[in-house]
Each structure stands twice: as structure tokens, then as C-alpha cells.
Chains A and B, each alone.
Chain A
Amino acid sequence: MTATSSPTVPRADASWVTVCRFAALAPERGIAAIVGTRQAALFLLPGGDVHAVDNRDPFSGANVMARGITGTRGDRPTVTSPMYKQVFDLASGVCLDDPATTLAVFPVRLRDGWVELGPPTVPPPDRDDGPGHGHRRDDGPGDDPRGESRGPVDRGGGT
């Protein structure tokens, strides 16, 4: 899952999918990629590490993880779902706000300046049960599992 900047030469392997040029990644920002029937969200972190997790946000069911904000919690690299703001560990895929929920993690390697993804660690979630794993995070500060330190919850809203 962690790529070193010096490209190794992997064996030809049908289970690895080439998705894009390394140069197409923007630092600290994600991008989605189609991997067979699934979608991955790729992130290039400041140290040069590339992570890839499932692009589907398990809480909303929408394919938006690639559009989350990256950062750290303690030492762990994270991405926050842009929909209801749960934070996920990019390395393990575990949701730090609700550890029962996990994103599939794709192994990443670089080859000749190309980014390749291997088979994901966790089987794809059952697509048919749609959104609604865990709880939604749109219900305001009262339900905020992270309490005070997080400050007010942005209720968003339209116009």
C-alpha cells in the first residue's frame, strides 16, 4: 500500500491494474480511478507516499472519498469523508470515528512513472444495502463522538 519513490520492477501480474501517471496526482488531494467494477480513491501525501482506498463512502453510499481532505490524526495519515465528515485511516482503511466501519485498501506500486493498484484487502461491501452503515454525522454537535475538541459542526446548508 505504500509506494517508495524509487520504482521497483514488479513481476508482470494480471491482478495489478495500471491507473494513471504518478505525475497526474496532486499532493494532498485525491483522485478517483475505475478499477474493474469498483472505484478507488488515490492520495499522494507530502512524503511522497501514495495510498488508495475504496472511493465509496460507506456512510452515504456515494462515490466521494477521493474528494475528502487529507491530514493526520496523531501519526496516522487520514482522509475525511466530504459527506458526513467521518475520518478514515488511509493506511488501514479503518474509520477512526467508528472502527466497525472500514474502507477497502488497495495495494499501490509505482512502475516506470505509472501508478498501479493491486487487489483490495477487504472484499467489496454489499452494494445492495446502500447507505446507512453506522450512523450519519449530520445530527449536530450533540452527537459528535469527538466532543468538544472538534468545535461546532458545520451544518452546511444550501444557498
Chain B
Amino acid sequence: MNPATPGPDRRLVVVGGGMVAHRLVEALLQRLDDRLAGAAGAPRDAPGWRVTVLAEEPRAPYDRVALTSYFSGRDPEELTLGDPGMWRRPGVRLHRGHRVTGLDRDARTVTTERGLVVGYDALVLATGSAPFVPPVAGSETRGCFVYRTVDDVAALRSHVDELRAGAHEPRDGRDGRPRRPEVTGVVVGGGLLGLEAAGALTAMGVRTHVVEFAPRLMPLQVDDGGGEALRRLVTGLGVRVHVGTAVSRVLGHRRGPRTGSVAAVALADGGRLDADVVVFAAGVRPRDELARAAGLPVGERGGVVVDETCRTEDPAVHAVGEVACLGGRTYGLVAPGYAMAEVVADRLLNGSATFPGADLSTKLKLLGVDVASFGDAFAAGEGALSVVYADPVAGVYKKLVLSDDARTLRGGILVGDASDYPSLRALLDRPLDGEAAAWLLPAAGESARGSTGALPDDAAVCSCNGVSAGEIRAAVRGEGGEPATDLPEVKARTRAGTSCGSCLPLVKKLMTAELEATGATVSRALCEHFDLSRAQLFDVVRVTGIRSFGELVARHGRGRGCDICKPVVASILASLGTGHVLDGEQAALQDTNDHVLANLQRDGSYSVVPRIPGGEITPAGLIAIGEIAREFDLYTKITGGQRIDLFGARIEQLPAIWSRLVAAGFESGHAYGKAVRTVKSCVGSTWCRFGVQDSVALAVALELRYRGLRAPHKIKLGVSGCARECAEARVKDVGVIATETGWNLYVGGNGGFSPRHAVLLAEDLDTATLVRTVDRFLGYYVRTADRLQRTAAWLEEIEGGLGHVRAVVLEDSLGICADLDAAMAAHVDGYTDEWRATLEDPEKLRRFASFANAPATADPDLVYVTERGQRRPATVDERRDGRASTASPPPSSDARDDAVLVTFPPAQGVSR
């Protein structure tokens, strides 16, 4: 794998490309990298490895635990685990879509379905489990699904969409809109998986039944009390729960257009439930078929038998994850699988790790209900005591299991409110300081629960990845690298919180406490002139009514500002509707772009972007722009935001260019501002065969509504006329996608340096509700985001995340919506075109003088060459050579290849 490795590389083959396989490869490469870097404790004289992963699924390993988020609008791509670049490293190969069908232990080869034969020195089986479908008649009927892979959930989703699209369904006579046909689903299994599946179905608006054979929901994780609390909560969400019975048969339609598709299920107790979809989520079975066929021992209930080093009877063959049977049992959770992966990675490099035992703690958010279970949840240990708190009205059930002296925490169950789970789990098998009951009472508050300071360094914080409190503290202190000072960095460095995420609140608390302890400032101070964050400053300006930078910095800051705080204050003043951005003192606060209402380019010239709302432009408008560009010899380029950027304008030319543009009916596109930029749209239902709504009309309306809105960062919007999403609305801060009955609203997307897909905020809104919701979303963002924080980062940082923002804008949970609505109304009413206002004000026009002593003279240092028929700034080399050949001919419009030097001002075509 690398030249520094002693001996030739050996061949590791991994069968299966799931979560545990991913962790194994990652852990192995990490150890090899550490060795290269000479890190202490890194294995030195172990072999190098070339790694081949044979994966049946057509995609790189992804986060199966987060599968259900696919239904809340997350893209399957976003589920990808780790850095996809890992699979492109030399010596690492991932074959997707290759199912292994044969294992020849004598020849040490595996064979795939597609005929690939791969030799190995070490083989790891990481084939996971297959969903268990109970043997009921009709389980193959169309409309029956399992719930394990992205493909499974995609199939389920498109089936539901199809039923929904229901061409044969009646229409609602009153408004002529198609009424959403009701779809009913039955989930077989009321355990962890079953409730996940029920959550997915309800998220799609399916009426859902859950059928569980055991007398309570989640029988493996919670006791009867917890199960009952869970049943109440889940029922309250509209899911119908049937416990203590089983599905005995799936019945299909006998006639009509859906013949052969699911019609109903029959229950063992004689009942019958009508259903259009059935999801089997009744447990899993290890995929141990390869091992069986190769004569390796398997466990009583399946699973490849391995010892505590994860090795099978054959020293060259290992098994890890859900397929492994270790100590007589298999594990259906990811954390034990990760622990096994670490053991094998260590062993492959001649280490001596053994399986440390499994933490079977789980915390889930199912259908929005918190459920956690940890340690000895069923109080099975000797002398174990239980303390229970139940509030059936609030739907909370909590149980702590303690040692016989009631001092040491042994386990627990939390239903309905699991906010203490990370702290409690970290205290497992440790003395609880204070009363156990303090942890159970809802209003006990932080203080009764002790602070993170009490958490010992070896307490496990992230059980998925085995990260201790001490490791998080060390990362914050910067041991073995740069100090990690924010949550994303701590996550990247320690891997804490990167799997299920349930420990993140605790990680954040630990990080903050440690930062404070190390004396690092955790303040969000804007710069050396203000100790306040942008959001705080916003509130100060709003509440005090201070309207000048001088007063603000004198009263709430120090010094005379800088290029950070001045534009921020300018933006805040603009957001609060205090007149033209170049009025009075405000002008001095602006970045040059805002100051001259154009975009500075590399040679000191500017570009100009007229607004083209929704990307819709008349031929006359296009011709006008073309003529103006030709007259001023501006380089023209179509932007990604569906408008036209005109480059190479000198500062003193800007007013002349605008007056021509304004005369032709254009206005500022605010390309220079931290402001609303564009609303990109597809052509939508007016022309497109597939369009279901008029996306252009909406885009134009939105762009005209929000034009000029100043914000902490630029804001982009997009509108697509149907689910095909041609406008790429989901890479915008606000993305709108048409549905049959209205609009789906996505927020928090962006392209650029770290691309993000927008997430679903609300579904099927009518146009008025959509606009109101976008108003509030933008208003809330403008008020509370940090400087240069786009919506994606803001949503990630804001306390409570997307759920909080949704509550604020849809349910007015903070009681500020009237205020936000009024602020937006004031913005819309107060809008004026900044270019036109500048042209009308001689005082403002003075700012466009090129030189104090020669106001209309071009900067003599601007030098251009012609390329592909347009000019561009000359490079340093071209300038040097060009000086020797100033006599070169004037640019010809078809000069494509040879660059021609022109100095400015050119002889013709420029008006001042």
C-alpha cells in the first residue's frame, strides 16, 4: 500500500459494502496513515494491505441508521458515509453492484455473480442482515415491501406516490383540484424497525397501522410501562396500534384496475385491515449464506460464528457487523459492529484487540417520539432497583435501574422525553451524584443533574463510535493537532456524533465547558470593535433605534470599525429599512461593491448585473442589454442565476451604463450585495409538457417581492414547475417545487464551496401560504444569523435546528410572526431601485469620479486583450510583452485565438 511498509502488500477482501465494512476500511487506512506519519503507538512492522470491497448495493456505503430521513426530503447522496475520496485512494477499490456468490477457502478466492474472481490473503464477511418476512400467504403481492436499503425505501416511496397520483380517483368538485386519494399502510412489526417504517409512511401522509405480535411496542427495548407510554404517544400521532396479534395473510384486489395489488391484511385474531401498502419490519436474519456454503460454523439462530477477535474457524476469514455471531449471539445495532471493525483493523496489523463487549443502548426519535433504552433496562441484574416516573398526560415514562444500594446507575428506559439520555448513558455503572429522582422529574433542570464537569474522562459519550468525554476534551485542547473550537470540527476530529447524532447536545456542552476552561473565547464577537454577535447587534439597533455607525460604535463598541463590522452594520441598517444604502454616513460603511453598486473584478474594474426576474426576458430587453454592452465594450457572460453579467466597466462609466439600462427598463440586480440575488426558475406549466404549476410566474413574483432585501449573506431562490426539478431549486437557500396541489418548500440549500441540499420545510402550500412562510423564514434568518452565515449553516447552528425554525414560521412558537410579517411588508413597500435613486442624486454621483483631480479619466493602467471575440484583463506577462508592441492592431471581432492587446481608453465606442 505504501513504500514505507515492510514486505509486499497483502490482499484484503471485504464482502458487503455496508456501514461496518465502511468503518473497517476507514479504521485500517487510518492506522496505516498513522504509521506513515510515525504516530506514537502506530503499528510498525505489520504488513501493508490492498483493499477490495465487493458490494451488492449500487452505491457507496451509506448511513442505514438514517434511512428514514430519506422521507423527510434528504437526498440518498447525503447519506453517504465519510469521505467518498477514500474509495479513490491508491490500493483501495470499491466494486459496487457486485454480489459475492461463491467462496473457495482452499483457493482463497471469492466469485461474484458477474463473474469477477478475487483472491485474498484475508477475507472479511460484512454482509449484514436481510429483512425477515414472516411466512404469511400473499407476502409477495404487489404493494408489499421490506425496509432495509435505499432501493427498498425508494420503491416504497414511488409506489405510494403512484397510488397517490391515482388517475382513477374522484375529483373534488368544488375547486376542481384533484383531491389527495387516501393511502393506507400496514406495518408488520412494532419494534425499532417497524416504528421507523411507520414514521416513514406517516411522513408521506399514509394512514398507518402497526401490528405487533408481542403485547407491547418495542418489546426488546422497553418494558410494559414504557410500551404503554409509547402506544399512547404513537396513537396520538394518528398511528393505529394493534398489539398481541399478527398478520396472517395479505389479500390482493380481485378485480378493477389494481387487480393483483394489496387490498387488505387479515389478522390472526380474526380482524381485517384495508391496506394499499404492507411493510414487513419484523426483524432481520444474518446473511450468512456464503459461510454456510463454505462449511463455516453458524450460530443456532444464524450468524457466522467468530471468536472475540472476530475470526472464524478459518484463520483467513473474519466476520463483522450484523452477520457475525459472537459469544453465541448476533447484534442488530451499529455500535457493536463498529467495535468489531476496529478489532479486525487492529488484528490485520498484528494488533491484539478483542471485542470489548457491546453497548446495546439505543436512542431513537420515532415519529417524533423520543425513546431511549440503555444498560440493564429490564432490571435483570441481581438486586437491581427501579425508580419509575410516569406522566401519562404529558406522555412521559422514565425508569432508572440502580444497584442494590441505589447509588450506581445500571440502566434505564426513557420514553417521551429522552433529553437526559446522553448524560445518563455516560454515567452508566457510575455513582449518581445526588438523588436519582432528580433525573426523573421534568422540571429539575440542569442544576440538579450536575454539570458536564462531573463527567469522568473515560465516560463514553458517543457509543456509536466509542468516543469518551476525555477524547472530546483533548480535541478541544488541541492535543495532537490544532484545537477544535466548534462543533463541526470536534465531530470531524473525534467522530463523536457522526452516526446517530443523539450525543451531540452533550458533545456541545463538553466542548463549551472545555473551551471556557482553556480560556478560549467562545464569544461570537464580531471583531475587535464589537463584543456582540451580528444577531445581538441587530437587536441592539432594532431596540435602541440607533441609526448611525458612529453612535453605535461609541456606545456599544470601541475604535472606528473595520471592513468586518462596518458592512455588517450597513446591512443591519438596510434590513431595518433606513433608506438608500448610500445615504449619508451609511455610504462610508459599505464595501466597494455596495458603495458603487457593482462587483469589483480582479483588475479594479467592475461588473454590472441588471435584474432579470425569474430569468424571463423579452427579445427587446436582450437586444437593449446587447447594445449597451457593445457600446461600452463590456465582456458579457450568462450567469448561473439566469441573468447577464457585464464586465469591464470602469468606476466612472457606471452611471452612464446604468442610465442606459434604467432607460431600457432594467434595475439593479443586487449582485454586489449580501442580499437576495435571483429566483431561478424552469419554464413550468405554461410551456413544459410536465409542469404542474406556473413556476415562472411564482419566480417573478418572489423576485420582485424580495429584491433588495439585505441579509447576513447572499440569498438565492429557485422554483421548479414539477418534481423533475429542472431549476435545481434544492441547491438554493429557498427552493420551491410544484406539486399537483400546491408547492413544497425547501430551505437551507447552497452550491459553492460546500454544497448542501435544501431540506423540506413544508408541503403542499397554496401560493399565499407559501409566500407568507418564505417571508417569515427570510425575516427570521436576517434577524438571527451570524455574519456571512448562509441559511444552511444557520439552520445547523440555531438552537433546535429545522424543527425550531419550522415551529417559529409555521406555528409562531416565538410569537414574532406579526413582527416579521410587518417587517417584510415594510420592505416590499419601501423598495426603490438603487441605481435609479443614485442617478437622480448628484451628491451620490460624485462617488463615481475616477480621480479627484481628473474625475472622468480612465485608469491608465487598465490593459485588455481580446479573446474569443471579447476583451479580458491582460495577464502580467501579456502586459510586459504588450508594452513592447503597443502598435498592435485594434481588436477584430473574430480574433479567436491570438490575443490582441488594447489599452484604455480605446479610440472608439466608449462614452463618458
Contacts and interface: CB of A to CB of B under 8 A. Distances in A.
Given A73-B528, A82-B591, A150-B564, A128 B880 contact: yes
A61 B561 contact: no
B566 A71 contact: yes
Given A19-B853, A62-B603, A158 B562 contact: no
A42 B485 CA distance: 40
Contacts of B787: 151-152
A131 interface: yes
A27 B851 contact: no
B595 to A, nearest CB: 7
A130 B258 CA distance: 74
Contacts, number: 150
B769 to A, nearest CB: 29
B788 A71 contact: no
B788 A151 contact: yes
A51 interface: no
Interface residues of B, number: 65
A71 B561 contact: yes
B537 to A, nearest CB: 13
B602 A62 contact: yes
B526 interface: yes
Given A71-B559, A73-B528, A155-B752, A19 B852 contact: yes
Contacts of B559: 71-74
A152 B486 CA distance: 13
A151 B678 contact: no
B560 interface: yes
A157 B592 contact: no
B527 A149 contact: yes
A69 B562 contact: yes
B876 A148 contact: no
A39 interface: yes
Q: What's the dominant secondary structure at chain B's contact region?
A: loop
Interface in A58-108: 60-64, 67-74, 77-78, 80, 82-83, 85, 87
B287 interface: no
Best-buried of A19, A61, A62 by chain B (most CB within 10 Å):
A62
Given A82-B600, A149-B527, A150-B564, A140 B588 contact: no
B859 to A, nearest CB: 5
Given A26-B588, A62-B602, A63-B859, A32 B850 contact: yes
Of A62, A71, A82, chain B has the most CB atoms within 10 Å of the CB of A71
B201 interface: no
B564 A151 contact: yes
A111 interface: no
A69 B526 contact: no
Q: Which of under 10, 10 to 19, 20 to 34, or 35 or more describes the interface residues of A? A: 35 or more
B528 to A, nearest CB: 7
B677 A159 contact: yes
Contacts of A71: 529, 559-563, 565-566
Nearest to B486: A148
A34 B861 CA distance: 12
B422 interface: no
A159 B526 contact: no
A62 B604 contact: yes
A132 B639 CA distance: 28
Nearest to B793: A152
B609 interface: yes
Nearest to A56: B861
A150 to B, nearest CB: 7
Given A62-B861, A83-B600, 4 more contacts: A29-B847, A67-B592, A130-B879, A158-B645
18 contacts: A20-B852, A27-B588, A29-B588, A31-B852, A32-B852, A64-B600, A67-B600, A69-B562, A71-B565, A71-B566, A72-B561, A82-B592, A151-B786, A151-B788, A152-B788, A157-B752, A158-B645, A159-B643
Closest 3 CB pairs of A and B: A130-B876, A62-B604, A159-B639
Interface of A: 18-20, 24-29, 31-34, 39, 42, 45-46, 56, 60-64, 67-74, 77-78, 80, 82-83, 85, 87, 128-132, 140, 148-155, 157-159
